[in-house]
Structure 1
Amino acid sequence: MIKRVAMTLSGCCFASAALAHEPGVVLPDLTVSAGRVEQVQGQTIAPISVIDRETLDQRQARSLDDVLQEIPGVTASSGPRRDALQPTLRGLSDGRVVVRIDGARQNLQINHRGQTFFDPALLQRVEVLRGPASTLYGSGAIGGVVDLRTLDADALLASGAVHGGRVFSGYQSNADERVLGATLATRQRGFGLLGSLSTAQANDYQDGNGERIAFSGSDSESALLKATWAAGEASNFSASYLSFDDESLSRVTADRPRGDVIVRDIQQRTGSLRYTFQPLGSALWDLDVSAYRTTVDMDEQPEDPTRPSIVNELQTTGLDLFNTSRAVTGPMAHQLTYGIELYRDEQVGLENGQPRPQFENAEQAVMGAFIQDRIALIERAALTVGARVDRIKLSAERQGLESIRYTEVSPQATLSVVLTDRLDAYLSYAEAFRAPSLRELYVGGQHFPGNTFVPNPDLDPERAHNLEAGLLWSRSGVWNTADRVHGQLSVYRNDIDDFIEQIVRGDGDPAMPNTTRFENVTEARLEGIELELRYDHPRYRAALIGSRVRGDDRTQGDPLAAIPADEITLLAAWRAVEGMEIGGRGRHAATQDRLPLTTDPDAAGVAPSHAVADLFASWQLGSALRLDARIDNLFDRQYRRAVNLVPNPGRNLRLQIGYDF
């Protein structure tokens, strides 16, 4: 069998157990599953990064932006207001990234609003797969996948414990944010039950110039109920219910500095059932089945009584089933993963209780089937090939809007080679697609005074063709038996045909004056390079992370909008005594002046270069009490990330105390 297959280094997490390790103890391996096959990190066929609970605690994560830090080529865009945040992977966002919570797809797409809403305090781990992944995840995975997994009883309780819990309280100085949370768990005879509640209230934050960013506060409540049952050695069941509520002042265009003031009430509910069948030593069965429903209600009540009240609702119901079988044919070993995915989106839009054409009552039904074979060719090489077929039907209630059908095929191939005992290489080609959203196809009504949305049932899906090459260097025992170094270099080019953009036309346009329509207007190309180098030792750690993305409209020759700036991050931490770690992080972003021509008065201008420094410290006092402290933006710099239209927060002191019992 090959020693390592198709290379990646993820690297966003350092195992929490390492904080208490003594010199001479080997650091534990980490596993990932976002590629649908659980395997040791560094042996996956795509760049996958992992953020574990230890890392989320140390960051005192309160938003998607906190979760996605320190991953090359990844950021949270459209913020910093939390009701607008979206994941951006390799320059792609806005429905071009698949987001899942406990296997449930989060498919909401409305301009100027976020895609999914959750409290990071209820997460156990996050996996981020960078690059096109439609072969395994279907429509929308042009940029990659963000897979969120919630807490369960086994994750919370110490080995051998039957009952237990955790309470925590946090504070952030910039927005005067106050956080409270409590979790209780029990397990016995193979059954586990966990319940968790959290609440957070934050005022408007201030930028580095001391200016208050209006309507950036939030008032949220979250809850999680999760049951698990180990029914024998092979079968495992789980059921989870996750809720999120936030009723806060905001803007209709939450990602912009201007817009009508509203009270936005967000209610998200995600229910998931999961069954796994993994007989020990079985070559035939490694089965994973999930059924789910996600509902997002976004009610918007205007501050101006003459403006209409708005309701946007999306309900997604789905089934995801896959199995992995292993076999040997002659000199080749096969790891065959195959499955089906079914889901339905049903959206409802109301304006003062009547149908709202800007968010048309419509539905989407998707059926996908996929197969992937990882073949060990010889001792030092492996080939992974796969394909997925998706059939998609979209329809709207309004008379005169046609039903639309698409059939898409997404192939993928990766060749990986072990060059030396410490150096691996891979070369991959993958195709991915994104079907037009219900809103893009069927949107109607007024866009703004004097301008009207026009539906476009002739939209074609976006189709991506990604070529990628990478090197992975890994070495343990550099200076002693307990340390290790990981390094990864990835280079990619992603060509996207029929890129969909919103086109706003004025009264001077002879064809469709004073209209807005989504159209296939662009042949886009995104090219990038990602570098990651990490050193980990039981007493200290360090990291160098860098990324560069270039996005161009190959039709017009202009740069693409909302492309991240070139960034480099340095991190260093010292585990001074057992249970205590102190460290710092510095991030430098280059000037982002590669911008398209636009008449949008709120469009992002040049984002100047900036450097931001953070300090952090963690103390684990015995087995029960944990303290975390950090200062973000230590020097109170004024800056705006290139993927945002609103300035980022200034200096922010974060404190959190947690008690396990």
Structure 2
Amino acid sequence: MSGSSPAEFLKKLATSTALCSVAAMGLAAPAMAEDAITAPITVTATGSGITAYEYPGMVTVIDKDEIDLKQASTPDDILRDVPGVMFTGGPRRTGEVPSLRGFSGPDVVILIDGVRQNFSSGHDGRFFIDPSVVNSAEVLRGPSSSLYGSGGMGGVIEFRTIDPLKALAAGETQTSFGLGGQTANREYHATATAMSRPLDGLGIVGSLTKRESGSIELGSGSELESDDDILSGFLKGSYDAGGGHKFTASFLRFDNDAIEPNNGQANGNDYADKNLVSDTYRLGYDFNPASAWVDLKSIAYYQSFKADELRLDNNGVGPAGELLKRDVDTYGFRVDNRSRFSLTEDIFTTLTIGAEGYHDEQEGAAGGGVRGGVPDAEDSFIGGFAQAEINWARPFGFLPGDLYVVPGLRYDRFESESSQAGVDNQDSAWSPRIGGSYMPVEWLNLFGSYSEAFRAPTMDELYSTGVHFTFAPGDLGPGTAGHTNRFTPNPNLKAQKTDTFEFGAGVTFDDVLEENDRLEIKASRYYTDGENFIDLQVNQPAPYAACSPFVPGACDGTTTSVNIADAELDGVEAEAHYENDRIRVKVGFSNVDGKNKATGEKLGVLTPAMGTLDAAIKLPETHSIIGWHVIAADEFDKVNSVADERDGYVVHGVYFAWTASEGPLSGLRLDLGIDNIFDKAYARAYASSYETGRNFKGGIRYTVNW
């Protein structure tokens, strides 16, 4: 692998964009113009709905069409082009962990239809949802504790499932069946979905997906052992009772039987038969009568995650046949109301007031005893928040354009306890935020924000005990003794907190090259100062230099979570999107850096300078689209150890989709694609293995409406 400078890969991206645009514009124009391209709407960013362009920050919305074109097998596939997002943990789906702006794990809030996904472990991933049930996704980058409380330091990732009341007309029913697969891991999948709206106010949807895959062929030519057998089910009912009352109920299950190393992010030889089951139960009630003062949304939920891992050999910490268990249950609610009113003729305000609470319970076991790193513990969070969205036309009576200001404030109280530790950890936090977008003319947006965010220490960080890893006799050389690294609890950990300044600009134009086209560009720069950053420190004496490996226990070490007094992260992000009746081009760029201010050591889940390109040609005459995507990364040297450095890379892929809209094949869709088309051998930052090599993908789906 060879490195490339930021200038080189940006030049490649710009050249690629230009070539694709020229080629596409050379095609004949369609016979009839389509509707104007509209700006995507974000709900996650403010809770009330605003265009992603107008929001004073960076947020990306991914719709169902884009998810289908990617033929996503994992959430990584869905989010691969979003600036500021990087997945660590390697290519196994069980190890995928997203990072946003240098924050990862519990520093990122993950939601499914508003339900918090609070499971977090060092090696078992964070996503337990099949892409087949995802109708749209949003990625809000930057601090979001003023709305979402603990964990909103890097941002929020939210997946939304389909609503049959929005997808179908009254009296309409739809069924679909799809088959597909990919070569890199010999995966195949089948999905059956049925959806109906028998009455105007009643909608029902059910979906079942079976997905199986094997070892992963890497770009390096080697294979990464993996075996997944997944069954995913989804049920949802929506009822509009009239008078502004709407009720929803849903159930989502993700069940994966996997055989892989105990640490799914590593290349170990200690294999385990894993059963990972996530169940999400959700009830929703909305009340939106003919009143500007009431727009109520509420949910109550129960989320259960169970991970059973049966050791298949004696190569790990425990013996073959030992059963490792981790159960995490979350009970929660969220309710908020939006009131809309005018302060003056030129000032319109949306005021959101709400409350949120949730409780987590965790149990761990290993062969009937205590499992190292998985304490029996529980935590509780309760918070209240308020946010105003102020739209001011002709601000101060003399400035041109519009000013959009969003002040917000949230208060949280949290407490953690463990029967094993006997010590509680409790605290509270205020999370203010103010952001603003000034649009002096329709095509220009100048924005900025100041945010404070916090993240409470997790149960694992506070109370972990037991064995982390071991060196068996002979592992450190002939004749050496065995040594053990053990978890040390730290129940006095403090919540980490950040202050973030962000500023940026955007431009948007309609009818640029032809009627009904749209160009949008947006970029930002941010600076984050943090205190009491929670860092996992593995203290392992170096054999021979710091200890004698021949003396039993002399090289024993510890693993514990500590607070880093002062830290800083900074970065840049940019997105550009052009679309007309014939072409669609998206470009993204991001770069993240961070350090411990006291020592100068690198800190956070940092990323190299990265660029993405997705360019597609629409062929409406044949109801098809063909596209090309590129991910380019500079060499990664923001590390404290040379072993963590990574070479730069450029990875290409292509995709094609065709839909039959009339005749006997009406309702048939064909998708084809190739990821990593040149079989590039590359590794992402903080991954212990190379990524997936050349991957041929294909799928066929048949949909019937009546």
- Give the TM-score taking structure 1 as reference length: 0.92
Identify which of 59, 77, 81 aligns with 2:88. Answer: 77
Contact 1:540 1:575 in 2 (8 A): yes
Aligned to 2:531: 497
Query: Secondary structure of 2:224's match?
Result: coil
Opposite residue 606 of structure 1, the aligned amino acid is E
Aligned to 1:311: 325
* Alpha-carbon separation, structure 2, partners of 1:527 and 1:259: 38
- Could you list the structure 1 runs, at least 4 aligned residues long, displaced by more than 3 angstroms after superposition: 19-22, 154-157, 506-509
Q: Give yes or no for the alignment of 1:390 onto 2:390.
A: no
Query: Secondary structure of 1:565's match?
Result: strand
Identify which of 465, 472, 486 aligns with 1:452. Answer: 486
* Alpha-carbon separation, structure 2, partners of 1:221 and 1:343: 28
Contact 1:459 1:520 in 2 (8 A): yes
Q: Matches of residues 519-530 of structure 1 in structure 2 within 5 Å?
A: 519-521=562-564, 523-530=566-573
Aligned to 1:601: none
Aligned to 1:555: 598
Query: Secondary structure of 1:66's match?
Result: helix
Question: By how many angstroms is 1:562 displaced?
Answer: 3.4
Identify which of 333, 343, 352 aligns with 1:329. Answer: 343
Specify every segment of 5 or more residues in structure 2 that has no aligned partner in the other structure, as ranges: 1-28, 395-401, 471-483, 548-554
Opposite residue 592 of structure 1, the aligned amino acid is F
* Alpha-carbon separation, structure 1, partners of 2:452 and 2:159: 24
Q: Give yes or no for the alignment of 1:171 onto 2:181.
A: yes
* Alpha-carbon separation, structure 1, partners of 2:685 and 2:373: 28
Aligned to 1:343: 358
With 39-48 and 293-302 compared, the bigger mean Cα shift is at: 39-48
Aligned to 2:72: 61
Question: By how many angstroms is 1:461 displaced?
Answer: 0.6
Q: Matches of residues 119-518 of structure 1 in structure 2 within 5 Å?
A: 119-154=130-165, 156-157=167-168, 159-160=169-170, 162-189=172-199, 190-215=201-226, 217-258=227-268, 260-280=270-290, 282-304=291-313, 306-307=319-320, 308-330=322-344, 332-379=347-394, 380-398=402-420, 400-449=421-470, 450-506=484-540, 514-518=557-561
* Alpha-carbon separation, structure 2, partners of 1:441 and 1:42: 40
* Alpha-carbon separation, structure 2, partners of 1:188 and 1:28: 31
Query: Secondary structure of 2:106's match?
Result: coil
Opposite residue 464 of structure 1, the aligned amino acid is T
Question: By how many angstroms is 1:74 displaced?
Answer: 1.1
Query: Secondary structure of 2:105's match?
Result: coil
Question: By how many angstroms is 1:632 displaced?
Answer: 0.5
Contact 2:56 2:448 in 1 (8 A): no
With 630-639 and 515-524 compared, the bigger mean Cα shift is at: 515-524
Opposite residue 544 of structure 1, the aligned amino acid is V
Query: Secondary structure of 2:94's match?
Result: helix
* Alpha-carbon separation, structure 1, partners of 2:361 and 2:448: 39
Question: By how many angstroms is 1:72 displaced?
Answer: 0.9
Opposite residue 371 of structure 2, the aligned amino acid is R
* Alpha-carbon separation, structure 2, partners of 1:481 and 1:457: 62
Identify which of 561, 581, 596 aligns with 2:640. Answer: 596
Aligned to 1:3: none
Contact 1:64 1:87 in 2 (8 A): no
* Alpha-carbon separation, structure 1, partners of 2:657 and 2:579: 17
Opposite residue 397 of structure 1, the aligned amino acid is S
Question: By how many angstroms is 1:137 displaced?
Answer: 0.1
Alpha carbons of structure 1 residues 522 and 262: separation in structure 2 relative to 1, 3 Å? farther
Question: By how many angstroms is 1:486 displaced?
Answer: 0.4
Opposite residue 409 of structure 1, the aligned amino acid is W
Question: By how many angstroms is 1:80 displaced?
Answer: 1.1
Contact 1:534 1:543 in 2 (8 A): yes
- Identity among equivalent pairs (%): 32
* Alpha-carbon separation, structure 2, partners of 1:359 and 1:118: 23
* Alpha-carbon separation, structure 2, partners of 1:659 and 1:394: 50
Query: Secondary structure of 2:68's match?
Result: helix
Aligned to 1:638: 681
Alpha carbons of structure 1 residues 22 and 553: separation in structure 2 relative to 1, 3 Å? farther
Opposite residue 82 of structure 1, the aligned amino acid is R
Q: Give yes or no for the alignment of 1:581 onto 2:595.
A: no
Contact 1:21 1:538 in 2 (8 A): no
1:267-304 Cα offsets, whole Å, 9 max, x none, are 00001111112224x22011110111111100110012
Greater C-alpha radius of gyration: 2
Opposite residue 407 of structure 1, the aligned amino acid is S
Contact 2:103 2:604 in 1 (8 A): no
* Alpha-carbon separation, structure 2, partners of 1:21 and 1:292: 50
Q: Give yes or no for the alignment of 1:612 onto 2:646.
A: no
* Alpha-carbon separation, structure 2, partners of 1:357 and 1:59: 39
Question: By how many angstroms is 1:86 displaced?
Answer: 1.5
Q: Matches of residues 107-118 of structure 1 in structure 2 within 5 Å?
A: 107-118=118-129
Opposite residue 547 of structure 1, the aligned amino acid is S
Question: By how many angstroms is 1:141 displaced?
Answer: 0.8
* Alpha-carbon separation, structure 2, partners of 1:126 and 1:506: 41
Contact 1:558 1:597 in 2 (8 A): no
Aligned to 1:41: 52
Question: By how many angstroms is 1:27 displaced?
Answer: 2.2
Alpha carbons of structure 1 residues 96 and 489: separation in structure 2 relative to 1, 3 Å? same
With 423-432 and 70-79 compared, the bigger mean Cα shift is at: 70-79
1:149-183 Cα offsets, whole Å, 9 max, x none, are 112324554x4552221110011011111110100
Opposite residue 574 of structure 2, the aligned amino acid is L
